[in-house]
Amino acid sequence: MRKKQVVVIGSSDDTQNLGAAYSIGKFIAQKGWVLISGGRGGVMEAASRGAAEHGGTVIGILPGEELERSNKYCTIVIPTGIGYARNVINVLSADALVAVGGKAGTLSELAYAWIYGKPVICCAFAPGWSAQFPAIRVDDREGGAVLTARSVEEACRQLEELFTRRGS
């Protein structure tokens, strides 16, 4: 049986939301799900660390060509060589996404999630696109569910409920 895949998105240079990202990564591992990220630093590394330190599988989908450019917590590294275009791969790999803060790269992933109908949990407590995106009417299509979490605990609860509704 295929494991659920959760993509955690956020900035590579974020230093404010690392504790939240770590806790979300830990929760993902404890549930037996796979954590996927862009494989770099900041939010991606903190979530990867949380998952790896609790026995989880961590996949890093890198923008560049070098395996060594991933954070040290990735157990599987996929270099794409396609830059930010790799964001669509991240999104399509997701059963659900969790956005923690974020800048332009995160915004592109949120837009792809909307286009492809992927559910996203946006952490409103983290400054950046995860706090702003839920208020935006992207277009008139039916995108994926965009949920707002006001705490790490709420984000984890929403993720679990999402998978329970969809069948885990």
Give per-residue pLDDT as tens, 87-103.
Answer: 999 999 999 999 999 99
Question: Where residue 167 falls among pLDDT bands split at 50, 70, 90?
Answer: low
What is the assigned CATH class of domain 5-166? alpha beta
Give residue 141's pLDDT band: very low, low, confident or very high (50, 70, 90).
confident
What pLDDT sits at residue 142? 72
Q: Provide the 8-state DSSP code for 119.
A: -
Q: Chain centroid to CA 160: how far?
A: 15
pLDDT for residue 6 is more than 90: yes
pLDDT above 90: residue 86 = yes
Cβ atoms of residues 143 and 134 within 8 Å: no
Q: pLDDT averaged over the chain? A: 96
Contact 90, 109 (CB under 8 A): yes
CA distances from 14 to 62, 94, 102, 117 (A): 17, 22, 8, 27
Q: Which residues pair with 59 in a beta bridge?
A: 36, 76
E strand or H helix at 76? strand 76-79
